[in-house]
């Protein structure tokens, strides 16, 4: 286009688009107005939160354990007297070691899943849906593969036999071994063109002979708990995981304040993992045929599909956060019935711990409590890790149990009358990116006579280091004080951003205090700036200069640029934090055949 008195200048403003590393507001010679721009964020790495000094033995136990076993990630949520005092994550959330773990990240539970299954069975028994004497074979109606039972005694197996690992199967002596891990072989033999589902595995095993008489011999059985999962489904009319989430635990227990479920079905493929689920490692990874991708011959690690977790559900296929398991322990005896309220029935004691161990997963669930009409005493915790020590399977669970219980025995600062429950005053709050800071209150209730401490940290969600300042610390409440404030600096990155989020997380408490249910406060950083826009009519001045105008925005650094070919752009002037109409006259227009203008935010 030749420069003349009819030079056409039309600023193109409007839609959000992705272009290079700048937010671009272009002005080119077309008919119409269009905004071009996008917000830019960056992933950041943040350290884990501090621990109150009185609980330092627990912190040391976890860090020493992880180092000794060369595990890369773990979490611990611990209660004393059924009051939460410790909730901490360790290591890395991703396999590239770029993001520190969140205390509530999800881990595969492996066999700890059986504790949920057992409690679900007892809940259905208590509701009259089934009984412990219900005959599993006739109740389920799953036809044996080939049409005939492999052992007539299968028809006599009861629900209680399955719960007690006395169904009659024994993988240590059976020629078929543990069938739940043989889905490829079962699918092949049954002529299936898909991975063997739990009902396929059960049908296949119903065609095989038992190894013991039902009820006579204890032999740990994953198959027995796979059958219990199908009993739960038939008795409830729901899928196994739906019953666990909706009926056994309920929305209050499984819903995390940050927007995910604390208890979910495990998935096999890495791409299918929940966004809040951890990555899984193993000490000596090797490739094997993918069970989840049968009948393909795809080769994968066992933690990435070599094991078919979707079929494991009720015996080893649940993923959960440590805090989600604490919610379970608050409401049930581990692997048992609903816990009575207070001292109903004259008080009680319960001591159970259970291990989970599969490639890429080690877990410990522990409950050792006594309760009467006035108090609950004892220790409960969930410890979850994303690896298993291949050299000594099972020993890593024992080591974790010993390390944590030994550390807890040296702690003297537990919840007490007068300490009080401490939590965030709100689960969510908003702040404008131009505000400079956001303040959230910590509230203490249920007693304030004692001086107590609580620790916290910020955690990056979608916001990064250019949006807020990482903040953490230990907050002290003197006797009688019920409110303290935590302030986090908010930074203006001088970009147009979508709403960005970080969270404030409570980590530990001491001096008699404990942590309440409102453990997280999600902070949304709002960007209320509107896009830059050209305004008014551009025109040639009598002296030949070309004048244009655009509106600036609070907190933004913007640069007016020109180009003669829409490829190479050159700065004309930079404007900082200008909220009024900016007028610019291009005095060097002569000599250019054509000129294009845009305003960019670096």
- What per-residue string of b and e applies to 70-80 under the rule 16 or more CB within 10 Å gives b? ebbbbbbbbbb
CA distance 2 to 9: 12
Q: How many angstroms separate the CA atoms of 322 and 328, rounded?
A: 10
Distance linking the first and last C-alpha atoms of the chain:
29
Is CATH 2.60.40.2030 the right assignment for the domain spanning 421-526?
Answer: yes
Residue 561: partners with Cβ closer than 8 Å, 6 or more residues away = 569, 570, 571, 572, 597, 598, 599, 600
Regarding beta strands 107-108 and 596-601, do their DSSP bridges make them parallel or antiparallel, or are they unpaired?
unpaired
- Residue identified by tokens 């000596």 is 284
Please state the three-class secondary structure of 379-409 as a single string.
Answer: EEEEEEECCCCCCCCCHHHHHHHHHHHHHHH
- CATH code that applies to domain 115-240: 3.40.710.10
Q: What is the 3-state secondary structure (H, E, C) of 178-228?
A: CHHHCHHHHHHHHCCCCCCCHHHHHHHHHCCCCCCCCCCCCCCCHHHHHHH
Q: What is the pLDDT of residue 602?
A: 62
Please list the residues that pair with 263 across neighbouring strands.
320
Specify the pTM.
0.85
In the predicted model, residues of the chain with pLDDT beneath 50 are 1-47
Q: What is the dihedral of CA 552, 557, 561, 567, to 10 degrees?
A: -120
Decide the pairing of beta strands 546-551 and 533-540.
Answer: antiparallel
So where are the chain's domains?
23-37+540-601, 55-112+242-409, 115-240, 421-526
Residues contacting 572, CB < 8 A, separation 6+: 559, 560, 561, 562, 584, 586
β-pair partners for 91: 73
Residue among 173, 188, 182, 269 nearest 223 (CA): 182
Strand pairing partners for 381? 78, 366
In DSSP terms, 74 is beta-bridged to 90, 385
What does the angle CA 563 – CA 564 – CA 569 come to, to the nearest 5 degrees?
25
481/443 Cα distance (integer angstroms): 9
Q: For residue 474, what is the enclosing H or E element?
A: strand 472-477
* Residue 416 structure tokens: 């007490």
Q: d(Cα 35, Cα 15) in Å, to the nearest integer? A: 5
């Amino acid at each position: 286009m030749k420069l003349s008195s009819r030079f056409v200048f039309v600023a193109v403003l409007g839609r959000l688009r992705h272009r290079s590393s700048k937010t671009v507001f272009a002005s080119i010679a077309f008919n119409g107005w269009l905004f071009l721009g996008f917000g830019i964020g960056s992933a950041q790495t943040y350290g884990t939160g501090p621990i109150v000094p009185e609980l330092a033995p627990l912190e040391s136990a976890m860090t020493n354990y992880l180092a000794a076993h060369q595990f890369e990630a773990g979490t611990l949520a611990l209660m004393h007297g059924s009051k939460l005092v410790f909730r901490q994550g360790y290591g890395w959330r991703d396999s590239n070691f770029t993001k520190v773990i969140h205390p509530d990240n999800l881990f595969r539970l492996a066999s700890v899943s059986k504790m949920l299954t057992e409690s679900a069975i007892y809940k259905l028994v208590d509701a009259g849906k089934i009984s412990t004497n219900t005959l599993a074979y006739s109740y389920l109606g799953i036809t044996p593969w080939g049409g005939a039972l492999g052992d007539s005694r299968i028809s006599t197996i009861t629900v209680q036999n399955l719960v007690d690992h006395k169904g009659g199967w024994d993988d240590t002596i059976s020629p078929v071994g543990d069938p739940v891990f043989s889905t490829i072989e079962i699918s092949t033999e049954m002529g299936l063109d898909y991975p063997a589902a739990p009902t396929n595995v059960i049908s296949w095993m119903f065609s095989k002979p038992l190894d013991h008489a039902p009820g006579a011999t204890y032999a740990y059985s994953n198959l027995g708990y796979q059958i219990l999962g199908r009993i739960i489904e038939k008795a409830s009319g729901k899928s196994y995981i739906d019953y666990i989430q909706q009926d056994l635990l309920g929305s209050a227990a499984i819903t995390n304040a940050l927007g995910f479920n604390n208890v979910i079905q495990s998935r096999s493929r890495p791409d299918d993992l929940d966004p809040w689920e951890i990555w899984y490692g193993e000490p000596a990874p090797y490739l094997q045929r993918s069970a989840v991708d049968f009948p393909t011959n795809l080769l994968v690690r066992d933690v990435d599909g070599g094991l078919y977790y979707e079929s494991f559900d009720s015996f080893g296929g649940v993923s959960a956060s440590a805090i989600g398991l604490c919610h379970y322990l608050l409401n049930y005896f581990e692997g048992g019935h609903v816990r009575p309220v207070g001292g109903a029935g004259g008080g009680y004691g319960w001591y159970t711990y259970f291990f989970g161990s599969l490639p890429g997963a080690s877990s410990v669930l522990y409950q050792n409590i006594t309760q009467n009409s006035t108090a609950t005493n004892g220790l409960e915790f969930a410890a979850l890790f994303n690896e298993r020590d291949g050299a000594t399977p099972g020993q890593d669970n024992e080591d974790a149990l010993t390390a944590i219980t030994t550390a807890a025995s040296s702690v003297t600062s537990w919840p007490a009358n007068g300490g009080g429950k401490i939590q965030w005053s709100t689960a969510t709050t908003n702040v404008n990116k131009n505000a400079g800071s956001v303040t959230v209150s910590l509230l203490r209730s249920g007693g304030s006579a004692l001086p107590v401490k609580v620790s916290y940290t910020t955690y990056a969600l979608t916001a990064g280091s250019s949006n807020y300042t990482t903040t953490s610390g230990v907050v002290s409440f003197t006797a009688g004080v019920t409110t303290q404030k935590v302030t986090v600096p908010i930074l203006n990155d001088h970009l147009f951003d979508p709403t960005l989020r970080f969270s404030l997380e409570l980590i530990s408490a001491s001096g008699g205090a404990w942590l309440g249910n409102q453990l997280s406060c999600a902070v949304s950083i709002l960007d209320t700036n509107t896009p830059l826009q050209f305004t008014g009519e551009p025109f040639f001045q009598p002296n030949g200069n070309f004048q244009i105008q655009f509106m600036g925005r609070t907190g933004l650094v913007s640069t007016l640029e020109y180009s003669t070919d829409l490829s190479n752009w050159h700065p004309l002037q930079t404007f900082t934090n200008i909220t009024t109409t900016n007028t610019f006259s291009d005095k060097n227009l002569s000599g250019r055949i054509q000129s294009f203008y845009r305003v960019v935010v670096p």
